[in-house]
Amino acid sequence: MFEVLVFVYENYWRGDACPELEQLERKLAAHGFDPDEITEALTWLDGLNFAAQSACASIQSTALAELPASNVSMRVYSVAEQEHLGARCLGFISFLATAGVLPAAMREIVLDRAMAAPGDPVSLDDLKIIVLMVYWSFGHEPDALVLDELCESPEGRLAH
């Protein structure tokens, strides 16, 4: 599934530039992806689209109501989230959130889509793809340092 998601991310610069799921399915099949992987990825993308649209509607209605935002809230992870994501993924999500590059609404979508992903626990590399896809669904590109953290393997880095 994640190979399909990477292909979609690399070939469609934003979520709204991506074709409808039926047309995308034909294009993915033409590129030789396994039908089961295509189905799994399209189901996952459909959930991402729904979550992103719901978040946008929620943000707009909250902005209209002018509710104050709390900067001191804390996210508590359920046992299922802890087991499915593991310490490395939860630590990475916390890192992105405390760095100010993963707002709460996007964090919740990352968690939702990670919980819908295969793997027990989800690998950190797969989580990074999920984070990229959430940015993609909102039409945002992460800044260069975040993109570097999401795309580059830490094993090849030299400490300064």
- The answer to whether residues 89 and 124 touch, using CB atoms and an 8 Å cutoff, is yes
> Residue 95 corresponds to which amino acid?
F
pLDDT score, position 66: 46
Rg (CA), the chain: 16
Low-confidence ranges of the chain (pLDDT < 70): 57-72, 152-160
Q: Are 37 and 4 in contact (CB under 8 A)?
A: yes
What pLDDT, on a 0 to 100 scale, did the predictor assign at position 150?
Answer: 73
Tokens of 133: 């896809």
Cα 25 off chain centre by:
20
First-residue to last-residue Cα distance in the chain: 36
Q: What is the pLDDT of residue 60?
A: 53
Residue 100's region, left for phi above 0, alpha for psi from -120 to 50, else beta, is: left
- At residue 65, the pLDDT reads 43
The pLDDT of residue 113 is 96
pLDDT value at residue 1: 93
**Given this model, what pLDDT does residue 55 score?**
79
Long-range CB pairs of 27-35, under 8 A, 24+ apart, other chains included: 28/4, 31/7, 33/3, 33/4, 33/7
pLDDT at 70: 52
Integer angstrom CA distances of residue 138 from 12, 24, 31, 51: 13, 19, 26, 10
Residue-level pLDDT at 155: 57
Q: What is the pLDDT of residue 145?
A: 73
What secondary structure letter does DSSP report for 89? Answer: H
Identify the pLDDT of residue 52.
Answer: 87
CA angle 66, 16, 124 (to 5 degrees): 85
